[in-house]
Amino acid sequence: MVCSIFELKELLLVLINFKMLYRLIIFICLFGSVSIKCWSGDWKKIKTVQLSSPVMTISLDRYGMFYISDDDGNIYKYDTLGVLQLTYSPSRKADVTLMEAWRNVNIFVFYRNLQEFVLLDRFLSPSPNVRLESTDIGFVRLATFSYDNNIWLIDEQDFSLKKYDIGHSKVELYTPLDLLLDPSLYDMNFIREYQNLVFVNDKNSGVLVFDNMGIYKTKIPIKGLSRIGFFNDEIYFQDGDKVKFINIYTYIERTENLPESGSFQFILYTSSCLYLFKNASVEVYKR
């Protein structure tokens, strides 16, 4: 049977489409899940840093140097090789509730029991402590620096997220949380502004995400976390013997193997450095 040129073209298109469909089916079978497993790369252990007391809080700056506080409120700055650089000892002993070093210009340190924060420069020299007091503020559970040099805080008295103007000692933005969380069942333990979004971690519910006006956007339903980290456009946290990443815009997940197994108190991750914290020690990895 002789086929016309038109019929040959039609047959060719069918074969091409069938080939594309076959490839699509294979791709879906292999990669259809939104959770993508990634090779961890070649992590090389540099050293184990032994500490004098257990780690209470941690933070990471833009250069990969890490900061820790102990149970006396002392703060230690380490370089990317785990070498101690500087130490800050406060005049009053107080537990550090939250520490944020990402801004580099200042390290923000919040003390819940004092209802105060202090700013440290890159040499860990302090500015005077600032007390969070206003007729618009009750009891501050969590606080962190905003990108415009003000304060995001969680007020337990009226169960809300607030943005506090330091210069004018007044609340600029207010978002009630009672419709998002059960006021009788919550454990909010971390807050941070990142890429014009505000992230509040509630251990019993997940990660609440707000825009930079304090308007609620969504909740990432991961429970049981004491802290989350940030890497490029992702949040990350330990998940068994892996690091789990969730994109903050697409919510696509991926995982990366840790170079050693164990239950770590904290982890800090960069493209070239990995720090694994176990009570009074830190495992330092490079790649």
pLDDT of residue 97 exceeding 80, the answer is: yes
Return the closest-CA partner of residue 56 out of 280, 285, 283. Answer: 280
CA-CA-CA-CA torsion sign (10, 16, 22, 27): negative
Mean pLDDT of 70-88: 96
In tens, the pLDDT along 45-57 reads 999 999 988 999 9
Whole-angstrom CA distances from 203 to 96, 130, 172, 178, 224 are: 19, 28, 27, 16, 5
Classify burial at 144, counting beta carbons within 10 Å of its beta carbon; exposed 0-12, middle 13-18, buried 19 or more: buried
pLDDT, tens only, 124-153: 999 999 999 899 999 999 999 999 999 999
Q: Note the pLDDT tens digit of each residue in 201-232.
A: 999 999 999 999 999 999 999 999 999 999 99
Bridge partners (DSSP) of residue 286 are 44, 273
User: Is 52 exposed, middle or buried, given 0-12, 13-18 or 19+ CB atoms closer than 10 A?
Assistant: exposed
| Domain 38-286, CATH class in plain words | mainly beta
Q: What is residue 82's predicted lDDT score, i.e. its pLDDT? A: 96
Taking 3-state DSSP, the helix, strand and coil percentages for the chain, each rounded to the nearest 5, stand at 10, 45, 45
Report whether 231 contacts 273 (CB < 8 A).
Answer: no
Higher pLDDT, 91 or 268: 268
Contact predicate 203/195, CB 8 Å:
no
3-state secondary structure (DSSP) of residue 38: strand
Residue 104: pLDDT band with limits 50, 70, 90: confident
The pLDDT value given to residue 105: 85
Q: Identify the pLDDT of residue 6.
A: 39
pLDDT digits (tens, 9 = 90+) for 8-43: 444 444 444 444 444 534 433 444 444 444 445 689
What would the pLDDT profile of 227-275 be if each residue is shown by its tens digit? 999 999 999 999 999 999 999 999 999 999 999 998 899 999 999 999 9
Beta bridge partners of 58: 68
Are 19 and 26 a contacting pair, CB within 8 Å? no
Confidence of residue 122 (pLDDT cuts 50, 70, 90): very high
Which of the four pLDDT bands, split at 50, 70 and 90, describes residue 103? confident
CB 67 within 8 A of CB 73: no
- pLDDT given for residue 279 in this prediction: 86
Q: Is 241 left (phi over 0), alpha (psi -120 to 50) or beta?
A: alpha
Q: What are the tokens at 42? A: 């070649």
Q: For residue 184, what pLDDT is reported? A: 86
In contact, 276 and 283? CB cutoff 8 Å: yes
